[in-house]
Amino acid sequence: MKNIRQDIRNIAIIAHVDHGKTTLVDGMLRQSGIFRENEQVQERVMDSNDLERERGITILSKNTAVNYDGIKINIVDTPGHADFGGEVERVLKMVDGVLLLVDAFEGPMPQTRFVLKKALELDLKPIVVVNKIDRPEARPDEVVDDVLELFIELGADDDQLEFPVIYASSREGFAVCDLYGERVDLKPLFETIIEKVPSPEGDEEQPLQLLVSNIDYDEYVGRIAIGRIERGKIKSGQQAIICRKDGSLQNIKIVKLYKFEGLKRAEASDAKLGDIVSVSGVGDITIGETICDVGTPEPLPFVDIDEPTISMNFIVNNSPFAGREGSFVTSRHLRDRLFKELETNVSLRVEETDAADSFKVSGRGELHLSILIETMRRQGYEFQVSKPTVIMKIVDGEEHEPVEYLTIDVPEEFMGVVMEKLGTRKAEMVNMHSANQGYMRLEFKIPARGLIGYRSEFLTDTKGNGIMNHVFDSFESYKGEISSRQRGSMIAWEQGEAVTYGLYNAQERGTLFIDAGVKVYEGMIVGENARSEDIVVNVCKKKHVTNMRASGSDEALRLTTPTILSLEQALEFITDDELVEITPKSIRLRKKILDTEMRAKQGSKAKKGL
């Protein structure tokens, strides 16, 4: 018999990066009375991870719940970046509706397209929230038209096209159904959710089925499985069975059961159909598995996660400075940490290679992998990574490569240089129209490998005025060779400390990446050569003391400010014969072969084709 839970709604919030999603959840929590009057709460409470707070992006999906008029609204905050699409896809399995949040100025962006497509495929009920209507340059009416166009483009059915629209300012904490209505609080948003999002349906009397869509950790109780009860009831302490992905079964006991209340997990004795719950006491359960009643092991289908598109090797650090700055430096440390990441990072792949000290790690994009690198670095790990490479696929005997959908907003004066650069990277223009305030929106399909190393070049070419976003589109046949980096590296000649005199001589040859006083080793990359070939420079060279010079001549040596590369820029810069050395304190670039003579011999062999 079908039961409908009228006292509960399950929704996900989906949006592009920086459209105010996490701030809106803050407002909903505050206005539903979750926080005490005098409670001090930091902004963007849902972004709990340091990296999320620094970058202003959501990386991990999170659960929270608010109560409004006796109805519990479970809210799942999802990442807005394509590289964390694995997170988005699986959490949509827990909900019946989505709040699609769109900036009232920027309108729908590439990421909006990606997540909305997933939601429509799962037949979820959308509510469109046009956010930031208090911005001076807001254009809410045009944005609603843009959203409608996007729905049509993505093949939404008639029912989905009848989406309700709410106008809001998550920062000011108000929502209205009519753009010119009184702006008081978020009540219209709560009421629309309750009215429009379907209540969970299913059979409460049938045996238990709970699909695990997320995994969390707790220092005290260990691994926690999070999921929604699709059928039946669950009790704390009951015996159950896990239906594994490989088809095997395992008997377990539900040690503790939790429901979400605000940002906290509250212990519960039981839960039923439609509830989103956490279960502890299940040691090695993973995402995509089903917890069932002991007598009825019936697994639920799990959403297919898009395959990784980019891979790189994570290698034990073997540079002359290895082990000086990190706490975890051995291949066992590296291996354990990478395989532990697989437990919660569903769109990641880790493979062992022929070398015991090297692991092939594949992910959804450069950002996906660089977040993992940065997280490990902060946890005290020290290692090296190779240049990101694109994962090819053989389809009907032909080589196919991942293609991205790239959207660029750029002032008209920079259009020429952007189109020229993208042309050399095998980009194909799909659309071009004027955006707002003198900006043009250019849309391309471009091979994923054509984007590696392009972002920093793009920012330089547009003098920081351009905005680029891209999202995985499809696998298409190989587009042909793309020319790689045009300039060579400046490589340190010997181990020592960089001094002003040596750097002054080196800076005439190109752009420096280091300053005086930085310790270097032979084979370390200290800058970019102005020409296409690599060049060896002696940045540790001191001026001969015997030379008679006027006093104060050393002070006259003016060094230009070095370009300090971020992690992403370093990954974009290196070529196939280079590595990035990652430690908790430093990011260094180096040649794979450090010895200058050996590198020269290898180079001449390569030229002769040996």
Query: What residues are designated binding site?
Result: 18-23, 131-134
b/e map 514-527, b = 16+ CB within 10 Å: bebebbbbbbbbbb
Contacts of range 53-56, beta carbons closer than 8 Å, 24 or more positions apart = 56/17, 56/18
Unique residue bearing structure tokens 């379907």: 198
Q: Where are the beta strands (DSSP E) in 38-184?
A: 62-68, 71-77, 97-103, 125-131, 165-169, 174-176
Closest by CA to 506, choosing from 464, 463, 560, is 560
Q: What are phi and psi of 548, to 5 degrees?
A: -85, 115
Helix, strand, coil tally for the chain in percent (to 5): 25, 35, 45
Helix axes 187-196, 21-31, angle to 10 degrees: 100
Q: Please, how many CA atoms are within 13 Å of residue 109, restricted to the half-sphere of its CB?
A: 24
Are the beta carbons of 171 and 238 closer than 8 angstroms?
A: no
How far apart CA 403 and CA 28 sit, in angstroms, is 38
Q: Identify the residue whose tokens are 């971020």.
A: 566
CA angle 359, 338, 50 (to 5 degrees): 130
CB 89 within 8 A of CB 12: no
Alpha carbon dihedral 198, 214, 112, 570, in 10-degree steps, equals 170
Cα 427 to Cα 252: distance, rounded to the nearest angstrom: 52
Tokens of 275: 């509830």
408/443 Cα distance (integer angstroms)? 6
Among 139, 134, 136, residue whose Cα is nearest residue 434: 139
Q: Are 73 and 11 in contact (CB under 8 A)?
A: yes
Residues of each annotated binding site for GTP: 18-23, 131-134
Record the tokens describing residue 497, joined without a space: 């400390």
Alpha helices (H) in 75-155, listed in sequence order: 85-91, 110-121, 140-153
C-alpha to C-alpha distance for 454 and 403, rounded to whole angstroms: 15
Is the CA virtual torsion 228, 81, 336, 246 positive or negative?
A: positive
Q: What's the DSSP call for residue 131? A: E
Which of 66-71's residues contact partners 24+ apart within 8 Å by CB, and which partners? 66/28, 66/29, 66/32, 66/34, 66/262, 67/32, 67/33, 68/32, 68/190, 68/194, 69/190, 69/194, 70/7, 71/6, 71/7, 71/8, 71/9, 71/194
